[in-house]
Amino acid sequence: MMPSKLVLIGCGHSHSVALLSWLHQSAPLRHCPIADITLITPNAQTIYSGSVPGHLAGWWNREACAVNVADLAESLGIKVVFDEAIGLDLAQQCVMCRNHDPIAFDTLSLDIGSTPQIPTMASQRIIPMKPMGLLLNSLDPYLILGPSKTSPETLPRTTLSMAIVGGGLGGVEVALSLKERLGNQLDLSLICRSPTIAPAQFKTIQTLLTQELKSRSIQVYLNTVVNSVQENTNGVNLILNSGESSSNLSSNLSCDVSLWATQATSPQWIRDSGLMTDDRGFVLVDRTLRSVSHSNIFASGDIATIQNSPQPKAGVLAVREGKILGHNLRRSLASQSLKSFNPQSRYLNLVSLGDRRAVASYGEFSMTATLIQPWLWHWKKTIDDSFVLGLNLR
């Protein structure tokens, strides 16, 4: 009998954890004849988001955020195809790739993350916050303007103006980190659609983050949307619309580069695939992380929405789902019953303030006291480092 073909698309937080769980199983997959497994990933490395703010602030280098998923997969005997999926043919059960022939599957698992909504025009001055690898590549030329704490060589002083569009936690963390790295060399604005920054957080965290942004001279625009973007010879011009609908005010904000941390979206090829999705295009799964429309397809992390229990798009949840996913993919290949993921309404969020301090929230509880902020930062670093180290085999 031919072994069943399992194809994994993307290797973010969820698939990495699933692969690690297989590595730790007493009967590793390389001794398991039931599946012929292929991983489709654009890069050998994936970036762990929790470690990104500290890298941007200059506290550690990029390697400290990177997980070599190709190593992890190959150590399990999984074939790695370096490519990007661009479509699914569910009738023929195959994945279309940008540079390879279609790859057939019996069982498919998706962990491709999400990307922010960005203007349709292509410009190197419009940088999406995700995928993280692209974010770091795009920011590299700007980061060298400011000395890193790991190699503090003096570089020519130049100023850079930047606008971050999106005032959620990701946008705020990156703003504080870049300001830590570039200091007065960076003229930074943060544009937030809602009346407060970090709208999903409780008031204490919002107030503290607002104070932090203010103390670093980061200009915050609240109740403001970017209506359109124009590129000019020196940078980009953002046309802003501020205020309540009855009293909208338009203004221009010119900057060298804009970073987009807006609402997460899914790629068009997922929306076009025929998989059942939620209204934002994310794959609808049940609590076993199996597609509600196609029982041989699994999805986890940002790209999945658990039907009737939607979760925030967060790395910490992608990691938790990864453990269940690893278990369920194996069980599904062996036609065994699946485990359910138990979505939790609260989870720990450690938010970096850029300068070796952090704040914590857990549901409506928060730890923001000045005295414990350095301790929280070390705690966050310990958690993030051990996660990255645990996934890197060399």
Ligand X SMILES: Cc1cc2nc3c(=O)[nH]c(=O)nc-3n(C[C@H](O)[C@H](O)[C@H](O)COP(=O)(O)OP(=O)(O)OC[C@H]3O[C@@H](n4cnc5c(N)ncnc54)[C@H](O)[C@@H]3O)c2cc1C
Q: 């350095």: which residue's tokens? A: 374
Identify the residue among 7, 8, 13, 178 touching ligand X (CB under 6 A).
13
CB of 160 to ligand X, least distance (A): 18
What is the DSSP secondary structure assignment for residue 274, as one 8-state letter?
A: S
Return the structure tokens found at 208: 């503290």
**H or E segment to which residue 22 belongs:** helix 13-23
Question: How many chain residues bind ligand X (CB under 6 A)?
Answer: 33
Q: Which is nearer to ligand X, 332 or 361 (CB)?
A: 361
Under the binding rule (CB under 6 A), the answer on residue 302 touching ligand X is: yes
Give whichever of 74 and 231 is closer to ligand X, judged by the CB atom: 74
Pick the closer one to ligand X by CB: 220 or 358: 358
Closest separation between CB of residue 211 and ligand X, Å?
A: 20
Tokens of 351: 């938010």
d(CA 317, CA 302): 9
Task: Report CA 186 to chain centroid distance, whole Å.
Answer: 24
Are 116 and 128 in contact, with CB atoms under 8 Å apart?
yes
Under the criterion CB under 6 A, does residue 111 sit at the interface with ligand X? yes
The yes or no reply on residue 236 touching ligand X (CB under 6 A) is no
Which one of 4, 38, 49, 361 is in contact with ligand X (CB under 6 A)? 49
Among residues 54, 58, 131, 235, the one that binds ligand X under rule CB under 6 A: 131
- Pick the piece of the chain touching ligand X (CB under 6 A) from 43-51, 147-155, 226-234, 326-334: 43-51
Binding of residue 168 to ligand X (CB under 6 A): no
**Do residues 361 and 377 touch, judged by C-beta distance below 8 A?**
no
Q: Is 40 in the site for ligand X (CB under 6 A)?
A: yes
Instruction: Considering the complex, state which of residue 57 and residue 318 has its C-beta at the smaller distance from ligand X.
Output: 318
Single residue of 58, 170, 235, 354 touching ligand X by CB under 6 A: 170
DSSP 98: S
CB of 253 to ligand X, least distance (A): 21
Tokens 């041989």 label which residue?
296
Rounded CA-CA distance 59/52 in Å is 10
**β-bridge mates for residue 306, sequence order:** 285
Tokens at 240, concatenated: 């802003």
Looking at residues 252 to 291 of the shown chain, list those that interact with ligand X (rule: CB under 6 A). Answer: 261
Work out whether 41 is an interface residue with ligand X (CB under 6 A).
yes
Q: Which of 66, 88, 127, 129 binds ligand X (CB under 6 A)?
A: 129
Torsions phi, psi for 35 (to 5 deg) = -140, 145
Binding segment (CB under 6 A) for ligand X, from list 24-32, 106-114, 189-197, 232-240: 106-114
Contact in structure between 99 and 83 (CB atoms under 8 Å): yes
CA angle 130-90-78, nearest 5°? 65
Among 55, 130, 327, 357, binds ligand X (CB under 6 A): 130
CA–CA–CA angle 319, 212, 47 (5° rounding)? 25
User: Hey, which residues does 37 pair with through a beta bridge?
Assistant: 6
Q: Indicate whether 174 belongs to the interface with ligand X (CB under 6 A).
A: yes
180 lies in the site for ligand X, by CB under 6 A: no
Residue number with CB closer to ligand X (119 or 170): 170
DSSP 96: E
Closer CB to ligand X, 9 or 37, in the complex: 9
- Residue 361 touching ligand X (CB under 6 A): no
Q: Which helix (H) or strand (E) holds 141?
A: helix 132-143
The reply to whether omega before 33 is within 30° of 0 (cis) is no
- Site of interaction with ligand X (CB under 6 A): 9-14, 40-42, 46, 49-50, 52, 84-85, 111-113, 129-131, 170, 173-174, 261, 301-303, 313-316, 318
